[in-house]
Amino acid sequence: MKKITEIKHRMLESFKNGVLSEKPHFFLTMQWNVYNCLRWINARIRRLTFVKKNLLRKCDVVLINLPKHEPLTIFPIGIASLAAYLERNGINVLTVDMNSQFIGKRLLSILISVKKPKIVGLSAITCQANSAYQLGNYLKERIPSTKLVYGGVHPSALPKEPFSKGSADFVVICEGEETLLEVYKSLEGTLDISKIRGLAYKDGNGKVMQNPPRTPINDIDSLPMPAYHLFDVYSYTIDIHIHPYNLALAMDLMTSRGCPHNCSYCSSPFLYKRKVRFRSPEKILEEIEFLIKKYGFKTFHFHDDDFLLNPKRIERLCHLIINKKLDIDFICLTNIDTLINHTSIIPLLKKAGCVGIEFGIESVNKEVLNNINKSQNTKSLLRIANILEKEGITPMYLIMSFNPGETLYSSYETTKMINTLTKGKNINVSYYLHPHHHNHCLGMLTTPYPGSKLYETAKKQGLVLNNDYDYYMPLYMNFVPFSFLNDVPIKLKNLDYRRFVDEISKYKRAILCHVTGRLRIFHGNYDLDYSEYTKFLYELYSLCDGKRSVKTISGVLLKKTGNTSLGYSCIGLRFLAMFGIISSKR
d(CA 432, CA 450): 25
Are 527 and 25 within 8 A, CB to CB? Answer: yes
Strand arrangement of the beta sheet that strand 394-401 belongs to = 250-253, 299-302, 329-334, 354-362, 394-401, 441-445
Query: Over the stretch 60-98, which tens digit does the pLDDT of each residue have?
Result: 999 999 987 665 678 899 999 999 999 999 999 999 988
Q: Which is nearest to 573 in space by CA: 583, 560, 586?
A: 583
Mean pLDDT to the nearest integer, 272-293? 96
Contact residues for 103 (Cβ-Cβ < 8 A; gap 6+): 47, 50, 96, 97
Give, in order, the Cα–Cα distances in Å from 446 to each of 205, 365, 466, 563: 40, 15, 12, 23
Burial 78-109 (b: 16+ CB within 10 A, else e): bbbbbbbbbbeeebebbbbbbbbbbbebeebb
* Cα–Cα distance for residue pair 327/353, rounded to 1 Å: 7
Span 11-28, pLDDT tens digits: 455 544 444 444 444 444
- 488 versus 18: the higher-pLDDT residue is 488
Tell me the residue length of the chain.
586
Q: According to the 3-state scheme, what is the secondary structure of 363-432?
A: CCCHHHHHHCCCCCCHHHHHHHHHHHHHHCCEEEEEEEECCCCCCHHHHHHHHHHHHHHHCCCCCCCHHH
43-57, 200-214, 536-550: least confident range: 43-57
Split at pLDDT 50, 70, 90, the class of 495 is: very high
What mean pLDDT comes out for the span 523-539? Answer: 70
pLDDT, tens digit, 9 for 90 and up, residues 548-583:
999 999 988 887 765 557 888 998 899 899 889 999
Predicted structure pTM score: 0.87
* CA 86 – CA 485 distance, rounded (Å): 50
121-146 confidence digits (pLDDT tens) = 999 999 999 999 999 999 999 999 99
pLDDT, tens only, 305-329: 999 999 999 999 999 999 999 999 9
Count of alpha carbons within 13 Å of 255, Cβ hemisphere only? 24
- Give residues with Cβ within 8 angstroms of 135, minimum separation 6: 64, 66, 105, 108, 122
Q: What pLDDT does 48 receive?
A: 63
- Binned at pLDDT 50, 70 and 90, residue 6 comes out as low
Residue 286: alpha-carbon gap to chain centroid: 27
* pLDDT, tens digit, 9 for 90 and up, residues 345-361: 999 999 999 998 988 88
List the one residue out of 495, 498, 510 whose CA is nearest residue 541: 495
The HSE-up count of residue 117 (CA atoms within 13 Å, CB side) is 26
Quote the CA–CA distance of 362 and 372 in Å, as a whole number. 9
Q: Please name the fold of domain 238-406.
A: TIM Barrel (3.20.20)
- Measure the CA–CA gap between 360 and 335, rounded to whole angstroms: 7
* pLDDT tier, 59 (very low <50, low <70, confident <90, very high otherwise): confident
| Confidence band for 454, pLDDT divided at 50, 70 and 90 | very high
57-220 has which CATH code? 3.40.50.280
Query: What are the residue ranges spanned by the domains of the chain?
Result: 57-220, 238-406, 451-586
Give the per-residue pLDDT at 26. 44
Element (H, E) at 120: strand 119-123
| 8 A C-beta contact, residue 167 and residue 148 | yes
From CA 431, how far away is CA 575, in angstroms rounded?
10
> Which pLDDT belongs to residue 240?
54
Average pLDDT for residues 288-292, to the nearest whole number?
Answer: 96
pLDDT of amino acid 435: 36
Q: What is the pLDDT of residues 414-434, one digit of tens each?
A: 888 888 887 655 443 333 333
- pLDDT per residue over 247-282, tens digit each? 557 889 999 999 999 999 999 999 999 999 999 999
Average pLDDT, the chain: 84
pLDDT at 373 (0 to 100): 94
